[in-house]
Structure 1
Amino acid sequence: MCGRVSQYTGIHDFVAALSMPNALVNSAGDLPLEKYNGAPSSQLALFHQEGDVLHADMVRWGWRPAWAKDRAAPINARVEKVAHGPFYRLIWPNRAVTPINNWFEWVDEGGPKKQPYLIRRRDQAPVLCAAIGQFPVGGRQPSEHDGFVIITADSQGGMIDIHDRRPVVLNAELAREWLDPDTPKERAEQMVLQQGEPAEVFEWFKVDKAVGNVRNQGPDLIRPIADSIP
């Protein structure tokens, strides 16, 4: 996963995709997010659950433990190691979902610059990515140490031609179970290892190279170029 996502609809659209009747504490606002080209270290909408209450916050994409000052904050965590490695031990219990509309990958097709592809669900529903992180809980204020990572797995099927890694995407039922604080850690690990959405759920197409510049935003970035309309 190359590290660029879109979150352009509003929080309530993402909540509807989760089909959660829970009370919502929304610190992300009610307006469309309009983030078409979300990059590492930017603030992205993130869901977590406390008791029966769903929380939506804006949290920095990227996290590292306090002792890992010799490296940049990773934005992704490999599903094969995330539950047991020392790097993410502190935040593995802090399960979250980052809802996105799509993500981008870049493919070397022999030209002077790599070709960006947009990947989204075929039904164009929100993409519910399994995540873990450090974020405000119990009413505490946001901290400079807050952040989150998206859990990734090996790609499957034709998606391998686009990139060898992909976010672990959960359907709505599994996303609710993942968010539930009462879900055992062993069950959570099983979900992300074995039950992520398969490649057939997604479609991908070429988009304009302007998405390569993180300063560019707007709906033109998510439109297919003429020769790649799905």
Structure 2
Amino acid sequence: MTSTTQAPADAKGQIRQANEERILAAAERVFAGAGFSGATMAQIADESGLPKANLHYYFGNKDGLYRAVLARILEDWLAPTHGITPEADPAQAIGGYIRSKMAMSAARPHASKVWANELLHGAPVVRHLLATELRATVRAKAAVIDQWIAEGKMAPVDSTHLFFTLWAATQTYADFDVQVCAVLGRPKLTRADQARATEHVVALLLRGCGLEVLSNK
């Protein structure tokens, strides 16, 4: 392939990627508000600002788009676990993962709500992902934490249930933001609120693991 043909191909690929990202982000918001049954491809097209034909071209149908949204959410949530490695500092690795999850809850609350709604309905679409990709990742990262415990780098904890606790603590600020805002007397969480919540969750979980609380400043 010559450079003259490569350039248009690269541009076309970038356009496709950008369109897919717009559609997935829009679908995330629509599915969060209307649920799978209530959402329509027309609504998602309007939200994305792209023709409905584009949605069908890239994802086939609503079911295919919904599956793509869920797969993207899980992929983005698991990406920060890459920092949990045997050679990493436990406080930095676990604290970094918590901060990443809190940041995602703040930036993409609709993603958390779509995921929660799927699980509340028995996980009919993601059950396979839960039993394969998610399970494998948690087992691998829990093994790292068990190694840190054996080496005396942190306090003994149930490494698997630590992840359940971490997910619950971070995602509550997206899934139950109405409750949090009502208690705080806010119409919506401010950046200061989010920063305060992040420092609280990081400190609480790290201390529970017998680790030093590192400042993010």
TM-score normalised to structure 2 length: 0.27
Quick check: which one's strand share is greater? 1
Quick check: which one's helix share is greater? 2
